Every structure is written in structure tokens, then in C-alpha cells.
Structure 1
Amino acid sequence: MSDDGTARVPIPAEILALASSTLDDVDRPAWPPAPDDAPSTVRRVHALRRVPLGELTVEDLRLLVGQHVALGTTVPLALGMLRYRPLLEGDHYPGDLLMAVLHVPDEYWAQRPQELAVLREALSRLDPDDPDYPVLEDDELTRAASRLRA
């Protein structure tokens, strides 16, 4: 029992195991280390595939989703973060993780209607009057979001 008298429900073992897994564990085959002369983005993406999923940051997911790496794993993780806080910020601007998710190909969403529903829920929480709402060239956020809204 917790302090408030409610029963504690343990986190299922399979969820805990997933948090300690890496992209190389769940998205086979594992990638080799990036070549020494690879661009910094490539080296970073290769390194992130070895980070436990439970330790990936908003910026890490922004980069992975933006590079279309293991979308079947990275997009659901990103949606879990965005569902209630769509303007989460990586290293660039409020909503940069959302923008990466909005640029995932339409074919991905066509095969995953439940994830699309979560994205639409996140989009419904956007408020252009929010002071954190990003001001992007040509209102890119509005255009990208309108493509996937219900």
C-alpha cells in the first residue's frame, strides 16, 4: 500500500525490460560503430542505438525520429512524451520533437492508426496563443499538423 492507502501496482516486467533495452536490442540487426570519418550526426545516431530506451532524452528522440531510425520504436516513445506536452523542446525550439514526428512518412501512420490517434490527441492540445508556440517559417507547424489532424 502507498501512503495514501491505495494499492501499488508494480510496473510489468516486460515494460521494465524494454526501458533497459537499446535500439540495437529491439531493432535488429544491431548497427556497427560509425566510421571514424562519419559526420557527427551519423556518429551520434549510431551511439544512440546503444543507449537504454529509458534514458533517451527529448533531443535524442528528435534526432532519431528526424533521421527515421527505428520508427516503430522511436515514434511510440516520442508520442508518449508528446501526448500531454506537444511543445516539448529538444535542442532547437519548443515543439521540435513534434515537428520531427510530423515529418514521419504518411505510410507509417497508415499502418498504425492507434499511434495516429495519439498524435491527433497531442495536436488537439496545441494552442497558437501559447507563448511557447513556435514561430516557424511559413507556419510549418500548422501546415504539417493539418496534414494529420482528424
Structure 2
Amino acid sequence: MKSVLQITLGILLAGLITLLVKIGYANYVEYRVTQELNELAMQQKQAQLVRQQAAKDRQRAEYQAQQLARQDKVKRQQIAKQQEIARIRKTEAWRKYYLVPEDCKNFKSDEHMVTCINQKADLKAEFDRTYLPENIRY
């Protein structure tokens, strides 16, 4: 009877040891799975942060591009305004510079008209060649 009891106790002890090993292994597997899930969650969080930073960088770049475009537009408008003012000043200077000769106020013939128009064109070309807006005072 002693040997049956010893065999039974041995079997129970072996079963208990097997159960403890299975519990330990299950805990180890659970620990590793939890660790892997935490690492995966951290990687996803980092990826999300990278995406958010990229979105912020894109927004910043778009904002800077818009600012540059606005500045460029303002600069182009200023240049256009300055060019228009210069054109008006030059036109006004030409108007003050060129006086129609009395002889060309009434054309006597086609030939006379051509002569007057050519004289005016020559004077205009000379004016355009020598016109310096910074020397003109208004």
C-alpha cells in the first residue's frame, strides 16, 4: 500500500510540477505578448507623431509659400505702380517738351503732313533716347 501511495503521490507531484510549468510558461507568453503589444503601441504612437509633425511641417511650408506669394504680389503691384507713375511722368514730360510748330498746325499738303509727322517722330525718338526721369523736376 505504501508503494501505491508513493506512486499516487509521485503522479500527483508530477502533475503539479507540470501544471506549475504550464502556468509559468503561460505567464511568460502573456508577458511577451504584452511586451510586444506595448512595443507595437509605442511604434504606432511614434508613427502618429511623425505624421502629425509632417502635417505641421506641410502647413508651415504652405503658410510660408502663401506669405512669399503675398509679398511677391505686393512687390509686383508696387513695381507696376512705379512703372505707371514713370510712364505718366514721361508722357507729361513729352507733352511739355514737344510744342507743335506753327507750320505743322495746318497741313498744306500730304507731303507737308509727312514732313511734320517725321519731324515729330524724330523729336520723339531723340526725347526717348535722352529722357532721364530722375533729372526731371515737377
Calculate the TM-score normalised by the size of structure 1: 0.24
Structure with bigger RCO (C-alpha 8 Å, 6+ apart):
2
The structure richer in helix per residue is 2
